[in-house]
Chains A and B, each alone.
Chain A
Amino acid sequence: MKWLDSLTENSTRAIAKRTSRRGFLGSLGIFLVGASRLPLLPVARGQAAEKPGAAPKAAAHSDKSPADNSQDPTSCEYWRHCAIDGYLCGCCGGSQNSCPPGTEQSAVTWVGTCHNPADGRDYVVSYNDCCGKSTCGRCLCNRNERDTPLYVPFESNDYNWCSGSSKANIPYHCSTARIVGVAK
C-alpha cells in the first residue's frame, strides 16, 4: 500500500511493525508513531489489573522518556491515546476532544484508562468517534494492549462504534480521546 503510505504524514511500515496490536482500524500499517511506550493503566480486568496509585508503572512499560510526544495531541504517543484505534480527529480539523466541522459525535463508544505523566494521574478516556463523512485518512493510530474479541464488546476495538449511535449511525470519520474523569 505504498501509495497510501505516501498520502499519510509520518507513516512508515517499520513503525507499523512495532505496534503491538491491530484493532478494527489499526490493521493498515499507516501509523504516526508506534509502540505503546507510555505507562498504560489497563482497563480493569481481573488479576491483570493494577490498582491506581500503586508503584509507578513507568519503569516497567517505558524505555524512553515519558515526556517525548506524550503531551502532543497530534502524536500517536499522546498520553490519552493509550487505547485509541482510529484516525486522530486533531489531524482532521477537530481536536482530541472535539469533532471536525460537519460531523456527528457518537455517544456510544468504548472506554479506556490512560496515565498522564505530566500530573501523574490516571484518567478514564472515552474514544468517541466522529461520524458522517468518509474516513479522514490522516494520522491513523492504534495502541491498545487490552483488546478483546467481538463477544466482549465494551473492550473490543473491532467494532465501528459510529454505528452504535442513533444520531451518528453513519460512516466513521475519526476518533477523539475525551477525558471523562479520574480513574480511582
Chain B
Amino acid sequence: MKAIASIPVGTFRRVLTALSAAAAASVLALHSPAHGATPAPLPADPAGTVVTLPAASPHWVWVNDFVFPHMTDGQARLIDGDSGRFLGMLSTGFGFTRIVLGKDGSVIFSPETYFSRGTRGTRTDVVSLYDPVKLSAVGEIVIPPKRASNMPMMADSELTDDGRFLLIYNFTPAQSVTVVDAHSRTLVGEIETAGCALDFPTGPRSFFSICGDGTLLNVHLDDTGHATTRERTARVFDVLSDPATEKGVRLGNTWYFVTYSGVLYPVEITQKGLILGKRWSLINPADQAEKWRPGGLQQLAVHTGLNRLYSIMHRGGPETHKDPGKEVWVYDLARHSRIQRIAMKNDSGAIQVSRDAKPLLFSIFIESTTLDVYDATSGAYLRSVENVGTTPTIMVVP
C-alpha cells in the first residue's frame, strides 16, 4: 500500500483514464459494427499468386523495346488497346528487335542475344519460347550467335506462311538467314544470303531478301527447312536515286514497300515468281510541292478487310525518311487513292493496325513513352497509355 500511496494522484488518474479508454475501444472492436462502426479486418492474401493473361484480344498490342540506353535489357511489353491496361512483359536480352507470335497461338518466339557477363563474355543467341498465357519462359533453341543487331525491323524475323519455319536475319557482316523449325523447336540451319538483307515470307516454304543492287533474292525451302533454290530477280528497287525502305508490309499476296519520296512499290507473289506491280505515289503533286513524304521506323500498316494502307507522313526535305510525322494518311488499295488524313495527337514514328473487323490504329514514337490509340476506320482518337517503354520501337499485333 505504501507503493501505491507514493504515486501522485494526477498520474494515477491519467493512467486510469487511458486504461478506461483502451478498454472501451477494445470492447467496441470485439463487437460487429452497427451504423458506421469499424469493419472486420481484411483477410491475409495468399502468397505466390501470379496472374495469367485472360483470353487474347485482337486489340492487344506488343510494344517491342530495345531500351537503347541499356541495351542488355530488351523488352516486349503487352498493352490492352481497349482498356489501356498494361498486361505484362517479356525480358528479351541484348539488341532486341521483336517477338514473333506463333500462328496457332500456343507459343511466342523471341530471337535473343546474351553475353555471359552481361556486357562482355561469350555470346549466345537463342530463340526463347514463351507461354503466351503465362508469359513465362518455357524453353529455348540455341542458334548461331549471328543475329543482326540493328534498328528493329519486322523483317528481322518472321515465320513462313504456315508457321512451320522461323526465319532470323544474320549480319556478321556476312549476311545469312537462320532457319528454325517452329514445330519441332529445333535449329535447321543457316542459308547464305550474300549481299541481301532481312526476310520477307512469301509462302509456306519461301521468302525473299532485298539485295544491295535493288534485286530480290528469292529463296525456296524444302519440308525440312533447307534451301532448295536461291535466285536473284531482276532489279526491282532503285537504290541510287529513290530507294525503297526495308519497312514493307504484307496484305494478301502483296508486299508493299515505300520509297524515300513516297512511291509505293507492290511486290506481288505469283505462281511465276515475284512480280513488281504497278507503282504509284502516295503523294500527289500538290503535296509533293509541300514536301510531304513518309517517315518513321514502322511507317506503314495495312488492314486486310478494309483493304487499306496507312502511312505516317511528315513535311521534310530529302533524307528525312526516318523522321516522325503528325499525320497518318490512309489509302484505298483498290482505287490507289488517299481516302483519309488522320491528325495524330503526338509525333508518330511507328504505327500498327489490329487485324479484326473493328480495328484499332496504334501509334508510338521512339522518343516518347506514350502509346496513342485510334479507331482505324474513323480515325477518331480513343486513348493514350503511358509508360509503355523506354525507347519503344515497333509493334506486333495478334
Select the stretch in A70-78, A119-127, A131-139 that faces chain B: A131-139
Give per-residue flags for A38-49: 1 if the beta carbon is below 8 A from chain B beta carbons, else 0: 000000011110
CB-CB nearest in chain B for A8: B69
- How many Å from the CB of A39 to the closest CB on chain B? 16
Residue A65 CB within 8 A of the other chain: no
- Asked if B349 and A27 make an inter-chain contact with CB atoms under 8 angstroms apart, the answer reads yes
- Asked if A149 and B246 make an inter-chain contact with CB atoms under 8 angstroms apart, the answer reads yes
Interface size on A, residues (CB 8 A): 43
Residue A93 CB within 8 A of the other chain: no
- Asked if A21 and B323 make an inter-chain contact with CB atoms under 8 angstroms apart, the answer reads yes
Q: From the candidates A22, A162, A164, A170, name the one contacting B322 in the complex (CB within 8 A).
A: A22
- How many Å from the CB of A104 to the closest CB on chain B? 9
Please name all residues of chain B whose beta carbon is closer than 8 Å to the beta carbon of A158 when the two chains form the complex: 150-151
Of B120, B151, B244, most buried by chain A (CB within 10 Å of CB) is B151
Residue B369 CB within 8 A of the other chain: yes
* Docked pose: A22 CA to B325 CA in angstroms: 13
CB-CB nearest in chain A for B243: A149
Please name all residues of chain A whose beta carbon is closer than 8 Å to the beta carbon of B95 when the two chains form the complex: 160, 163, 171
Please name all residues of chain A whose beta carbon is closer than 8 Å to the beta carbon of B211 when the two chains form the complex: 151
Q: From the candidates A108, A134, A153, A160, name the one contacting B149 in the complex (CB within 8 A).
A: A160
Residue B245 CB within 8 A of the other chain: yes
CB proximity to B under 8 Å, residues A66-86 = none
- Asked if B198 and A47 make an inter-chain contact with CB atoms under 8 angstroms apart, the answer reads no
Interface of B is mostly: loop
Select the stretch in B264-272, B283-291, B313-321, B354-362 that faces chain A: B313-321
Q: From the candidates B69, B145, B239, B317, name the one contacting A148 in the complex (CB within 8 A).
A: B239
Interface size on B, residues (CB 8 A): 50
- How many Å from the CB of A107 to the closest CB on chain B? 11
Of B197, B241, B369, most buried by chain A (CB within 10 Å of CB) is B197
Give per-residue flags for B238-273: 1 if the beta carbon is below 8 A from chain A beta carbons, else 0: 011101111000000000000000000000000000
- How many Å from the CB of A30 to the closest CB on chain B? 8
- Asked if B321 and A21 make an inter-chain contact with CB atoms under 8 angstroms apart, the answer reads yes
Give per-residue flags for B64-75: 1 if the beta carbon is below 8 A from chain A beta carbons, else 0: 000011111000
Please name all residues of chain B whose beta carbon is closer than 8 Å to the beta carbon of A152 when the two chains form the complex: 212, 239, 243
* Docked pose: A152 CA to B215 CA in angstroms: 12
Please name all residues of chain B whose beta carbon is closer than 8 Å to the beta carbon of A46 when the two chains form the complex: 240-241
- Asked if A159 and B148 make an inter-chain contact with CB atoms under 8 angstroms apart, the answer reads yes
Residue B172 CB within 8 A of the other chain: yes
Residue B363 CB within 8 A of the other chain: no
CB-CB nearest in chain A for B260: A149
Residue B173 CB within 8 A of the other chain: yes
- Asked if B366 and A27 make an inter-chain contact with CB atoms under 8 angstroms apart, the answer reads yes
- Asked if B197 and A20 make an inter-chain contact with CB atoms under 8 angstroms apart, the answer reads no
* Docked pose: A29 CA to B391 CA in angstroms: 11
CB-CB nearest in chain B for A19: B323
Please name all residues of chain B whose beta carbon is closer than 8 Å to the beta carbon of A20 when the two chains form the complex: 316-317, 319-320
- Asked if B246 and A150 make an inter-chain contact with CB atoms under 8 angstroms apart, the answer reads yes
Of B70, B239, B241, B391, most buried by chain A (CB within 10 Å of CB) is B239
* Docked pose: A137 CA to B68 CA in angstroms: 9
Known: A27-B349, A159-B171, A170-B123. A135 touches B322 (CB 8 A): no
CB-CB nearest in chain A for B153: A150
Of A23, A45, A162, A171, most buried by chain B (CB within 10 Å of CB) is A171
- Asked if B150 and A24 make an inter-chain contact with CB atoms under 8 angstroms apart, the answer reads yes
* Docked pose: A21 CA to B243 CA in angstroms: 15
- Asked if B69 and A4 make an inter-chain contact with CB atoms under 8 angstroms apart, the answer reads yes
CB-CB nearest in chain A for B73: A134
- Asked if A149 and B151 make an inter-chain contact with CB atoms under 8 angstroms apart, the answer reads no
Residue A169 CB within 8 A of the other chain: yes
Residue B368 CB within 8 A of the other chain: yes
Give per-residue flags for B54-98: 1 if the beta carbon is below 8 A from chain A beta carbons, else 0: 000000000000001111100000000000000000000011000
Please name all residues of chain A whose beta carbon is closer than 8 Å to the beta carbon of B145 when the two chains form the complex: 169
* Docked pose: A162 CA to B322 CA in angstroms: 22
Q: From the candidates A28, A108, A146, A148, name the one contacting B366 in the complex (CB within 8 A).
A: A28
- Asked if B70 and A134 make an inter-chain contact with CB atoms under 8 angstroms apart, the answer reads yes
* Docked pose: A160 CA to B70 CA in angstroms: 14
CB-CB nearest in chain A for B214: A151
- Asked if B173 and A108 make an inter-chain contact with CB atoms under 8 angstroms apart, the answer reads yes
Residue B301 CB within 8 A of the other chain: no
- Asked if A149 and B72 make an inter-chain contact with CB atoms under 8 angstroms apart, the answer reads no
CB proximity to B under 8 Å, residues A1-43 = 1, 4, 13, 16, 20-25, 27-29
**Told that A28-B391, A153-B197, A171-B95 touch, could you supply 9 new A-B pairs with CB distance under 8 A?**
A25-B68, A27-B151, A27-B349, A27-B366, A133-B120, A149-B197, A153-B171, A159-B150, A159-B173
A residues near B, CB below 8 A? 1, 4, 13, 16, 20-25, 27-29, 45-48, 108, 132-135, 137, 144-153, 158-160, 162-164, 169-172
> When A and B form their complex, which 5 residue pairs have the shortest distance between CB atoms, in order from nearest?
A160-B149, A151-B197, A158-B151, A29-B367, A151-B210
